[in-house]
Amino acid sequence: MLYRGVVVPGDRLGRKLGYPTANLKISPDVLPKDGVYAGEVRGEKLSRVYIGAVSVGNKPTVAGEKRVFEVYIPGFKGNLYGSELQVSLIKKIRGQKKFASIEELKRQIAEDVRKILSLKKEDRARDRQTPDRRKTSRLLGLKKSRPKKA
Ligand SMILES: Cc1cc2nc3c(=O)[nH]c(=O)nc-3n(C[C@H](O)[C@H](O)[C@H](O)COP(=O)(O)O)c2cc1C
């Protein structure tokens, strides 16, 4: 399922956590179910498709109030405020949880990101077996296309 929205300021805790997220402005009645998902992220300020770690919910660990849709984009550094992102959810990893401490939340997010990036590796491995998937990988920016010989 594809979600699109403009990046708006969050509570700015993500930076302290070490996992800054882009918070998307999405109408509450179209938000997906709470959880943590792997997603493909596209946007006008992104030079390629990224794999992102998406969190949907009211952030029970930090006593958030509203349900939010936010995405951490490993490997991307830059300012996305005010720009539109399109996020396609690929796979649900787990549900939202209330952790006993920020430290525990941080450890879990590290684990989530590892898992999400390993999905990317699985995709690469599958690519080696099935040529018709290569195009998808190139689109995802997972594979550099070989320079053409002159
Ligand atoms: C991959 C990922 C998983 C997350 N999982 C949870 C969770 O299970 N419980 C929770 O309370 N917050 C979770 N969060 C949300 C963080 O609490 C949130 O990103 C942080 O508080 C920063 O929010 P802010 O940018 O609005 O300040 C998750 C965030 C990410 C990126």
CATH code, domain carrying 81: 2.40.30.30
Measure 139 CA to ligand 1 centroid, in angstroms.
Answer: 28
Give the range of the structural domain holding residue 123, as residue numbers without chain letter. Answer: 2-140
pLDDT given for residue 149 in this prediction: 65
The domain tally of the chain equals 1
Q: Which residues pair with 35 in a beta bridge?
A: 56
- How far apart (Å, rounded) are the C-alpha atoms in residues 9 and 136? 32
31: in domain: yes
Q: For residue 57, what are the CA distances in angstroms to 23, 41, 64, 119, 147? A: 12, 19, 9, 23, 43
Q: Give me the residue label for tokens 């320079």.
A: 147
146: in domain: no
pTM (2 d.p.): 0.85
For ligand 1, is residue 53 a contact (CB within 6 Å)?
Answer: yes
For ligand 1, is residue 10 a contact (CB within 6 Å)?
Answer: yes
9: in domain: yes
Specify the DSSP element, H or E, that contains 6.
strand 2-8
147: in domain: no
pLDDT given for residue 11 in this prediction: 79
pLDDT, averaged in runs of 10, over the chain (150 residues) = 95 81 96 97 96 96 90 96 97 97 96 93 69 60 60
CB atoms within 10 A of CB 125: 8
pLDDT given for residue 114 in this prediction: 97
For ligand 1, is residue 13 a contact (CB within 6 Å)?
Answer: yes
66: in domain: yes
- The torsion angle over the Cα atoms of residues 108, 15, 90 and 44, rounded to 10 degrees, is -170
Look at ligand 1, atom 4, and give the residue with the nearest C-alpha: 55
148: in domain: no
Look at ligand 1, atom 28, and give the residue with the nearest C-alpha: 55
Task: List the beta strands (DSSP E) in 20-147.
Answer: 22-25, 35-43, 50-57, 68-72, 84-94
pLDDT given for residue 122 in this prediction: 73
For ligand 1, is residue 7 a contact (CB within 6 Å)?
Answer: no
pLDDT given for residue 17 in this prediction: 87
